[in-house]
Amino acid sequence: CDIQLVENPNRLVVDVPGISAPRNKTLIIDNDSDIASVRLGTHPDKLRVVLDIKQALLQLLMQAKVVLN
């Protein structure tokens, strides 16, 4: 599993090898959530899950990344 925190636009990208989905899909999340949407993308060798995140969650994840490294 490969996880990346990406800015502009803010998103968390998770690549899961060996898994596929029938088609690409976007899920819209409630406005009160720190996650704006979730997108699933199929690739020949992996499933990509993209969480479009709001600024507050980005800051928390960046702080956690610094602590974990």
pLDDT tens digit sequence for 24-53: 787 777 777 889 889 999 888 999 999 999
Checking if the pLDDT of 55 tops 70, the result is yes
Q: What is the pTM of this model?
A: 0.78
Burial of 1 (0-12, 13-18, 19+ CB in 10 A): exposed
pLDDT tens digit sequence for 3-32: 998 888 999 999 999 987 777 787 777 777
Q: Which amino acid is at 37?
A: S
Helix (H), strand (E), coil (C) string for 9-61: CCEEEEEEECCCCCCCEEEECCCCCCEEEEEEEEECCEEEEEEEECHHHHHHH
